[in-house]
Amino acid sequence: MTLQCRATADPSLELKYIWKKDGADITYLKVQLLEGDRVITIPDITADETGVYTCIAFTPDPKGSEDTASAIVKIQGTVNEFMA
């Protein structure tokens, strides 16, 4: 899965990105942040990664501002049933 966050800002200001899943910082190891943290990639995604992913684009103080965008990620698949 790959999600991209695009934002524009005054070119004289530094533009930074933070990603969250379900409102919490993303801390698991298989997440890859690319292109100055504006792109998030999760290879071999599983149902554990289902949730709301939010990108926060911001410029630090002294002229700090921020905006957010979210995507709902749902993993669909089949459940294997084993007969005993």
CA distances from 44 to 41, 53, 60 (A): 10, 17, 34
- pLDDT, tens digit, for every residue of 27-67? 777 788 887 888 999 888 888 888 999 999 999 888 789 99
Which domains, ranges and CATH numbers included, belong to the chain? 14-73 (2.60.40.10)
C-alpha closest to that of 62 among 18, 14, 7: 14
**pTM confidence score:** 0.79
Q: Is the pLDDT reported for residue 78 higher than 70?
A: no
- The answer to whether the CB of 19 falls within 8 A of the CB of 33 is yes
